[in-house]
Amino acid sequence: MEYIVTDLEWDNVYFKPEKRFINQILQIGAVKLNDDFEIIDSLDIIVRSEISNKVTGRFAKLTGITSEIMREGMPFKEAVEKYNSFVKNADVTMTWSDSDLYTILENEDFRLKDGLKFKLNYYLDLQKFVQQELYKRGYESKNQIALEAAADFLGLNTEGFEFHTAVDDCRVSAELFKISYDKARFESLVKDTSDKSFFKRLRFKPYPISDINDTDIKPSELEFSCPECNGKTTRITNWKYINRWFISNFKCQKCGFKFNGRVAFKRTYDEVKVKHKVCEYKPKKRKNNDVQSVSEKV
């Protein structure tokens, strides 16, 4: 089995034809590992931008790639071809978090015209993989951990590595893969990119459901039990949709308690995520006041 660890560095630039900013890939780094997780080859490509002739100050500072260096880089199409011949028949490609994949899709869409794509075969989100090992070792935060912090936590000596330099990030990632390797976990997380749902899932943009009659909403999700006695309740106002929440007032059929129930739905590729909130009952304001204020203006 051969593994590829890939790391991309990108700069956020304004892309005129689309009238929006895109994450333009300007460096492609990769290392190839054998069955014993030893690095047997590496690749480092600087990509010349066809969109702008300057890099942002932030990008230059982070990566060491100045505008001059970038302008001497390789055209993107050639860079991807070179990358693909490096990957060749390697079984699994890994990146530190799937944000690299989103950037790959974006760059394929806007910068490659003839259907050329990054070669992926099987894919592993290395961050997810390593973070599960960290949990086993007592790490607690749910936030995605940065490469440097993960290396620290696992006691990897990173002296002599330049973080945010594509190939060095690959080397550190490869070390973390080796330290955290677990066959069962690997098999549970590795994905076949030739499976149609792989890219469908990536391209799917989760959205909040705003129509109360949407067939993705189960009627039972719109019911609340009484926060006081757990009894059945009746909805006593119409649903309102405010800031992604469906909001209404409820009254308990058993104890008469009134409260404000809120429910939000988010459609993701795999499921509908539902959140419920119970808030203090707020009766509607008396109409008189409104009438008064209106008549005052007149």
Question: Could you list the residues that contact Zn ion (CB under 5 A)?
Answer: 226, 228-229, 231, 252, 254-255, 257
Of 194 and 253, the one with the shorter C-beta distance to Zn ion is 253
The residue assigned the tokens 């594509």 is: 166
Closest separation between CB of residue 240 and Zn ion, Å?
Answer: 23
Closest separation between CB of residue 178 and Zn ion, Å?
Answer: 57
Q: Is 171 helix (H, G, I), strand (E, B) or coil?
A: helix
Amino acid at 47: V
Of 90 and 252, the one with the shorter C-beta distance to Zn ion is 252
Kindly report the length of the chain: 298
Tell me which residue of 256, 257, 250 sits closest to 224, measured CA to CA. Answer: 250
- Give the integer Cα–Cα distance in Å for 190 and 184: 10
Of 197 and 230, the one with the shorter C-beta distance to Zn ion is 230
Closest separation between CB of residue 275 and Zn ion, Å?
Answer: 22
Q: Is 127 helix (H, G, I), strand (E, B) or coil?
A: helix
User: CA distances (Å), 265 to each of 201, 208, 240, 268, in order?
Assistant: 18, 6, 14, 10
Closest separation between CB of residue 257 and Zn ion, Å?
Answer: 4
Of 49 and 233, the one with the shorter C-beta distance to Zn ion is 233
Six-digit token string for 234 = 């009746």
Closest separation between CB of residue 94 and Zn ion, Å?
Answer: 53
